Amino acid sequence: MNDSKLVYSTDTGRIKHDDTRPSPRSLSSDGVVRISRETKGRKGKGVSIVTGLDMDAKALKSLCSELKKKCGCGGAVKDGAIEVQTDDREKLKSLLQAKHFTVKLAGG
């Protein structure tokens, strides 16, 4: 997804943007949190992506930080989804189930 923002134009000069749009949320239509594994575009390194969490950006960042500490790895919040640099999806599943989320492992 290419979200390039125009910051300067030779016709009008510097362009100001209103960042009033809401932060991206990873919504799930059925209320299930899904954990998938992805390696594409990451030089073969696998990451687990947690989607379907109906939380604001601050709560997502807090949950991401907690998951990273418990798994002993890195990660980030991108486009409303949590990316954790681990292949241990079972551990992520048990951690999220302990927080009373309905969790499914997506993909192979």
Please give the domain boundaries of the chain with CATH numbers for all domains.
Answer: 23-105 (3.30.780.10)
pLDDT digits (tens, 9 = 90+) for 60-81: 899 899 988 988 888 888 888 8
Instruction: Name the one residue in this structure whose structure tokens are 């949950």.
Output: 63
pLDDT for 17 beyond 70:
no
The pLDDT score that the predictor gives to residue 10 is 67
The closest alpha carbon to 17, from 33, 32, 29, 6, belongs to: 6
Q: Provide, rounded to the nearest whole percent, the portion of the chain with pLDDT above 70.
A: 73
8 Å CB contact between 53 and 33: yes
pLDDT for 9 beyond 70:
no
Query: Phi and psi (nearest 5°) for 59?
Result: -70, -35
What pTM was estimated for this model as a whole?
Answer: 0.70
Which tokens in the block code for residue 37? 């594994």
8 Å CB contact between 35 and 67: no
